[in-house]
């Protein structure tokens, strides 16, 4: 017997911008196989796109919601009046969901929740989390594109343009779908993750009818509610990063700060067009560790930047020694076609760059080995990435991002599977990795 096509009634009120929103939603509904009905009786649920411009429009919207509830009973509200959800809930507490304007993704999430689309042999082949190239248990989410900074060695702003943040509701819906598909760790990336929402003036978006500011702290808080590991990458050293530390201490997001610093000499940082006072930064690092003793700090540095003197390099080594960062990547400077830094005087000879890089990495290897040795005897929660035929596993602790950081080798053969969390006692360490036993 043929199934009835899921059918939606649609009421569109308000100005042309609201009309465009309605068109987007109806286009998505039709693309996913929903029928649109002009009558309440034939519809399985009704969407009301509201207007909240003046009092008369508010009243008209509230009446339209009431009529749809009386005639059909199942109503999703979207549009400008949805931005003030209290007014709607007060008069009509039984609406299924409320979103603000320009919220096609959120509306579609609610439609799927209350009226799932019919099985489609083409789209049903795509898992709910989308097609991913990472293992099933972790996934990257890109929250923005482009960058408003002007670091002199980088051409990303020329290539990708200014920062454009994705709507927070869309990001959260993607995260929710990934978690439903079995993802245990979300890795949040963009060129400048800390700047998320600046381009949108931190305006509120909606996720499951709940207003959320387009801002990294609000996003981190909401992601933390999904019950999986949340790891933030590429955080430019903005002052507001300090707001993330209490969330790390409470376990809302992982205690892991990936903060590329690039150098420690004020003269070099100036030429890089980057902020920087290494004393102030050391103070911040000490504060972060005080608030969140488990925090793992990851950074990257460039050695041999044009004009880098022996003294600048010594300042960098002193900073490294004092900061005792957990994970460090370093590169010898190499010019990128089109970068402003190419015109700076006094390039460092190639051989000297390589010597400095080696010196830098030797010092960091000692720091890293000493820091990892402190973990011996500790019990850590790890996420298992791989298990071989012998039962030996490779896992990661909260301090280890996939691909770029170290791992925890688990020696003894308790039956583990990839994507599972486990508790291990650390038995050995070197300058990159740990070894542990399942408790």
16-51 in b/e form (b: 16+ CB < 10 A) is eebeebbebbbeebeeeebeebeebeebbbbbbbbb
CB of 150 or CB of 378, closer to ligand SF4: 150
- Please, what is the minimum distance in Å from the beta carbon of residue 183 to ligand SF4? 26
User: What is each CA distance from 388 to 72, 206, 384, in whole angstroms?
Assistant: 56, 43, 11
CB of 215 or CB of 274, closer to ligand SF4: 274
Rounded CA-CA distance 114/294 in Å is: 42
CB of 135 or CB of 157, closer to ligand SF4: 157
- Please, what is the minimum distance in Å from the beta carbon of residue 234 to ligand SF4? 7
- Please, what is the minimum distance in Å from the beta carbon of residue 165 to ligand SF4? 14
Other CB atoms within a 10 A radius of the CB of residue 1 amount to 3
- Please, what is the minimum distance in Å from the beta carbon of residue 150 to ligand SF4? 6
- Candidates 267, 31, 397; CA nearest to 8 is 31
Instruction: Give φ, ψ of 249 to 5 degrees.
Output: -65, -35
Could you tell me where the DSSP H helices lie in 54-167? 55-71, 85-91, 104-114, 156-160
- Please, what is the minimum distance in Å from the beta carbon of residue 281 to ligand SF4? 16
CB of 115 or CB of 281, closer to ligand SF4: 281
CB of 156 or CB of 267, closer to ligand SF4: 156
Secondary structure letter of residue 215 according to DSSP: S
Query: Where does 316-363 show beta strands of DSSP type E?
Result: 327-332
Q: Report the interface residues with ligand SF4, using CB under 6 A.
A: 147, 149, 151, 154, 156-157, 191-192, 236
CB of 302 or CB of 387, closer to ligand SF4: 302
> Strands of 35-37's sheet, edge to edge?
35-37, 7-12, 45-50, 75-79, 97-98
- Please, what is the minimum distance in Å from the beta carbon of residue 233 to ligand SF4? 11
- Please, what is the minimum distance in Å from the beta carbon of residue 146 to ligand SF4? 8
CB of 148 or CB of 355, closer to ligand SF4: 148
- Please, what is the minimum distance in Å from the beta carbon of residue 433 to ligand SF4? 28
User: What is each CA distance from 389 to 101, 134, 248, 325, 365, in whole angstroms?
Assistant: 53, 21, 36, 35, 32
Secondary structure letter of residue 116 according to DSSP: P
CB 81 within 8 A of CB 88: yes
CB of 74 or CB of 327, closer to ligand SF4: 327
CB of 149 or CB of 291, closer to ligand SF4: 149
User: What is each CA distance from 411 to 52, 402, 432, in whole angstroms?
Assistant: 62, 20, 17
Rounded CA-CA distance 124/127 in Å is: 7
- Please, what is the minimum distance in Å from the beta carbon of residue 259 to ligand SF4? 11
Tell me whether strands 138-142 and 185-189 are parallel, antiparallel or unpaired. parallel
């Amino acid at each position: 017997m043929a199934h009835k096509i899921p059918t939606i009634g649609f009421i569109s009120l308000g100005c042309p911008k609201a009309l465009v929103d309605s068109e987007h939603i109806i286009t998505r509904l039709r693309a996913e196989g929903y029928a649109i009905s002009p009558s309440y009786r034939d519809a399985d649920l009704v969407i009301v796109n509201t207007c909240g411009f003046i009092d008369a429009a508010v009243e008209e919207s509230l009446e339209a919601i009431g009529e749809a509830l009386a005639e059909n009973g199942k109503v999703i509200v979207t549009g400008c009046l949805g931005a003030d959800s209290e007014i709607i809930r007060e008069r009509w507490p039984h609406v299924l969901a409320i979103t603000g304007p320009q919220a096609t993704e959120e509306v579609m999430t609610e439609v799927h929740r209350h009226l799932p689309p019919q099985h489609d042999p083409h789209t049903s082949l795509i898992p709910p989390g989308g097609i991913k190239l990472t293992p099933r248990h972790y996934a990257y989410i890109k929250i923005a594109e482009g960058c408003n900074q002007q670091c002199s060695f980088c051409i990303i702003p020329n290539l990708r343009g200014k920062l454009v943040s994705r709507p927070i509701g869309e990001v959260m819906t993607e995260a929710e779908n990934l978690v439903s598909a079995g993802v245990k760790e979300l890795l949040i990336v963009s060129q400048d993750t800390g700047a998320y929402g600046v381009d949108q003036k931190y305006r509120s978006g909606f996720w499951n009818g709940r207003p959320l500011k387009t801002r990294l702290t609000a996003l981190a808080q909401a992601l933390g509610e999904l019950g999986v590991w949340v790891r933030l990458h590429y955080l430019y050293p903005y002052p507001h990063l300090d707001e993330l530390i209490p969330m790390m201490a409470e376990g809302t997001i992982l205690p892991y700060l990936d903060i590329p610093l690039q150098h420690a000499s004020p003269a070099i940082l100036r030429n890089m067009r980057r902020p920087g006072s290494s004393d102030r930064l050391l103070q911040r690092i000490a504060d972060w560790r005080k608030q969140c003793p488990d925090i793992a700090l990851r950074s990257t540095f460039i050695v041999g930047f044009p004009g880098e003197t022996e003294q600048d390099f010594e300042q960098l080594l002193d900073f490294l020694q004092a900061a005792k960062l957990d994970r460090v990547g370093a590169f010898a400077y190499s010019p990128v076609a089109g970068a402003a830094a190419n015109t700076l005087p006094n390039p460092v000879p190639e051989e000297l760059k390589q010597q400095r890089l080696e010196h830098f990495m030797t010092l960091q290897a000692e720091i890293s080995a000493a820091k990892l040795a402190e973990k011996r005897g500790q019990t850590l929660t790890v996420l298992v990435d791989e298990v071989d035929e012998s039962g030996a596993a490779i896992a990661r602790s909260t301090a280890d991002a996939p691909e770029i950081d170290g791992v925890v080798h688990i020696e003894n053969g308790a039956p583990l599977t990839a994507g599972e969390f486990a508790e291990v006692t650390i038995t050995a360490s070197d300058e990159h990795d740990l070894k542990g036993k399942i408790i």
